Amino acid sequence: MTIASDLPQVLVIDDEMGPRESLRMLLKPNYQVYTADNVEAGLHILREKKPDAVISDIRMPGTSGIDGLRKIREIDPHVAVIMLTGFGALETAKEALRLGANDYISKPFDAREMREVIGRNVERTRIQRTGINAAAEIKELNNRLLKELAQKERLASLGQASAEFVHDLGNPLTIVWGYVQLLAKKLEQSEKENGTTNETSAKELNIIEQNVRLCRELLTMWQSYGSVEASPHKPISVTQVVREVVKGVGPMAVQSGVELHCDICDDPCTLLGDSVQIMRAIQNVIINALQASAEKKGSVVVSCTCKDFYVDVRVEDTGYGIAPAQLAKIFDPYFTTKQGKSGTGLGLYITKKVVEDHNGSIKVESTPQIGTTFTIRLPLLNN
């Protein structure tokens, strides 16, 4: 059962009781509906409730719908606004669109069309607000980081931790940036198609939110670096972590021309650990594999296999491989094969440290010009 507070919110502003109540009854099953019989009352509700869409009649005594639209945009530039127009008011409706309305519907309205328009515009508002929230989160992260750096008088002694932190933030922020670019293109296309939104936009915004959240958790972890009390280990699902990482790096694979395949077992593969640490380790290996395969436009296969006492996360790429002389050094701090390509040489060092902190092991096999395979083995939680 859906709780009323979880429903999308719609504000109806109309001086006529008939259309106002008709809309309330039509939308009531799926929306939290607020009504107002004049613009001023509607603006008061807008400020208090912050609805996801506003339906406003154009012609009303006192403050007109057009004047009300201008005030709505001053209060909330992103909320979807749908104008109701009577016979012969087409030019006024077009003026409303020029002033920032998202759609208009003629009276008397068709119930099915009204539901479709409302659904589309509510989704549009929520997508825009989620995108804005993600941008605000990133800005806040940046401000927090700058404050932390300014306050660290002993920053030199934390050089290693600082470098690791910068590296860790790079992966989720790369994913966020990829999805922001992808979403921006889709939203731009939606605007060209009369305001329709792409069905996958909400999923992409969820991935943005997840990776921004990961950035926040990494920042919190970095701020507590060196504290006596370590984060307590909890039961976590390795397969769930792998799925989240694979889903997150999808656009990176597409943009690099790399085919990304996964074979993940149905078992949750539960272990005692720190989910943020395990995610950073697995993410490092998969992103390395994608980068290694990018020049050859190759493929990456991620598999997760559950055994009796352990789980294997295997990442195979068809890149150029690693020379035998370099293979013994790849887990050393600051060693990188990505000279000139923004490599820090910390990704695999961090991964090995995380895996060993969870009583696991990491193995690498590589054949030059053929590819590389990493296997992370982690002990399962005893039942």
Say yes or no: 80 and 151 in one domain: no
Q: Is 115 domain-assigned?
A: no
Which range among 11-25, 31-45, 225-239 shows the weakest confidence by mean pLDDT?
225-239
Per-residue confidence (pLDDT) for residue 54, from 0 to 100 = 94
3-state secondary structure of 262: strand
Cα(270)–Cα(310) distance, rounded to whole angstroms? 9
If you ran DSSP here, which 8-state letter would residue 5 be given?
Answer: G
What lies within 8 Å, CB to CB, of 56 at 6+ separation is: 12, 13, 14, 39, 42, 65, 68, 69, 72, 81, 82, 83, 84
Q: Is 116 domain-assigned?
A: no
CATH number of residue 358's parent domain: 3.30.565.10
More confident residue, 88 or 147: 147
Amino acid at 342: S
Say yes or no: 217 and 294 in one domain: no
Per-residue confidence (pLDDT) for residue 153, from 0 to 100 = 44
154 has a pLDDT exceeding 50: no
Say yes or no: 311 and 183 in one domain: no
More confident residue, 267 or 219: 267
Per-residue confidence (pLDDT) for residue 155, from 0 to 100 = 45
Concatenated DSSP letters of 101-122: --EEEESSPPHHHHHHHHHHHH
Q: Is 181 domain-assigned?
A: yes
Say yes or no: 133 and 104 in one domain: no
280 has a pLDDT exceeding 80: yes
Q: pTM above 0.75?
A: no
Domain edge (last residue) among 223, 245, 265:
223
Instruction: Kindly list the distances between the CA atom of residue 134 and the CA atoms of 95, 140, 181, 207, 215, in Å, as whole numbers in the listed order.
Output: 32, 10, 13, 10, 11
Domain that holds residue 131: 127-223
Contact 4, 34 (CB under 8 A): no
Domain edge (last residue) among 192, 223, 254:
223
Say yes or no: 158 and 208 in one domain: yes
185 has a pLDDT exceeding 60: yes
Say yes or no: 164 and 60 in one domain: no
Q: Is 229 domain-assigned?
A: no
Q: Where are the alpha helices (DSSP H) in 109-200?
A: 111-151, 159-192
Q: Calculate the average pLDDT of the chain.
A: 80
Q: Is 154 domain-assigned?
A: yes
Contact 354, 278 (CB under 8 A): yes
Q: Provide the number of structural domains found in the chain.
A: 3
359 has a pLDDT exceeding 90: yes
**For the residues 256-270, what does the mean pLDDT come to?**
93
Say yes or no: 369 and 251 in one domain: yes
Say yes or no: 96 and 176 in one domain: no
Concatenated DSSP letters of 12-67: EE-S-HHHHHHHHHHHTTTSEEEEESSHHHHHHHHHHH--SEEEEES--SSS-HHH
Contact 200, 228 (CB under 8 A): no
Between the ranges 105-119, 151-165, 230-244, 309-323, where is the mean pLDDT highest? 309-323
Per-residue confidence (pLDDT) for residue 151, from 0 to 100 = 57
Domain edge (last residue) among 191, 223, 255:
223
**For the residues 341-347, what does the mean pLDDT come to?**
59
Length of the chain (residues):
383
Say yes or no: 248 and 368 in one domain: yes
User: Dihedrals φ, ψ of 26, to 5°?
Assistant: -65, -40
Say yes or no: 242 and 374 in one domain: yes
Per-residue confidence (pLDDT) for residue 222, from 0 to 100 = 58
CATH number of residue 92's parent domain: 3.40.50.2300
Say yes or no: 97 and 207 in one domain: no
Question: How does residue 136 score in pLDDT terms, banded at 50, 70 and 90?
Answer: confident
